[in-house]
Amino acid sequence: MSATDTEAEPRQESAPRRRGDRIFSGTAKGAGLVILAALAGVFVFLAIEGIPGLTQPASNYAPHNSFLTYVGPLIFGTILAALLALLLAVPFAFGIALFISHYAPRRLAVPVAYVIDLLAAVPSVVFGLWGARVLAPYLVPAQEWLATHLSWVPFFAGPASVTGKTVFTAGIVLAIMILPIITAISREIFAQAPRLDEEAALALGATRWEMIRLSVFPYARSGMVSAVMLGLGRALGETMAVAMVLSASPVVTLNLISNTNPATIASNIASSFAEATPAKLHVLIATGLVLFAFTFAVNFAARWVVGRSERRMAR
């Protein structure tokens, strides 16, 4: 090989990174580390302050006599309210997202998306006041009808609450609160579906719904799961709205419309914190630690499902 050929070969050395790239990379890494440090700090605080709450005298767990029997109904109420909210919100969120991304004309889709996004800016206290003062009394006739005609279903066994402050009402309020999150993420995912796949499905004679079912949903499946899990995380941790809407007690029941309603962990902390003794405060923080661990487990499971779906699509 001659010297000329050697000089003609392109250099394999990587180009030096620009200062802006280095600054952006460092900023992004720093932001990620700050988030991890904040999560670690929250966990450490909850662990230090909450572990003593596991072994307090029985009087601090009233009307129960141990931490497990105290936190069990709270976990049940948290899961019940969150699942009810998801059951109500997810179909509407996916439908609104599809309407905005694939059905509505642009002059209508933009304002509808803007209004839905505005719901995320409404404070929880406003939702709680509206749910307790307006929605709860309005739902009393509907809950009485459910107790009269569907009392054979455990969820509507009744007797119906005269105030309307039930798990049913709390689930509707939570559904409205998580609707913007699920809708916004789903809308962006649906809009990013490969245009060529959609046009190919339509060219082969598929209807618009068949095109969405065969081209959009498979592409957006992982994003849809992520949107639902983010909404679930919001529903699990919501405090003030549930505390203001729900007339709760430490029980385990599937009845959604009666005066006896299971409390959630977050609402129980909010309603009991002000009058708590130091020992009771440790118990409440321990329940917060349980909620933190449960939410982390739900998000971890969601990431596993999303990763598995992405690996299947890659094949």
Q: Supply φ then ψ for residue 71, to 5 degrees.
A: -85, -20
Close Cβ partners of 42 (under 8 Å, ≥ 6 residues apart)? 292
For the chain, the straight-line distance linking the first and the last C-alpha, in angstroms and rounded, comes to 43
What is the pTM assigned to this prediction?
0.81
Strands (E), 114-272: 248-249, 261-262
Q: How far is CA 80 from the centre of its chain?
A: 13
Q: Give the count of alpha carbons within 13 A of 217, CB side only.
A: 9
Contact 101, 191 (CB under 8 A): yes
Per residue in 225-261, pLDDT (tens digit) is 888 888 888 888 777 778 788 877 777 888 888 888 8
Residues 276, 292: Cα–Cα separation, whole Å: 20
Per residue in 60-105, pLDDT (tens digit) is 787 788 888 888 888 888 888 889 999 999 999 999 999 888 888 8
Per residue in 120-158, pLDDT (tens digit) is 788 888 888 888 888 888 888 888 888 888 888 888 887
Q: What does the mean pLDDT of the chain come to?
A: 82
Q: Two tokens at 186?
A: 């789903």
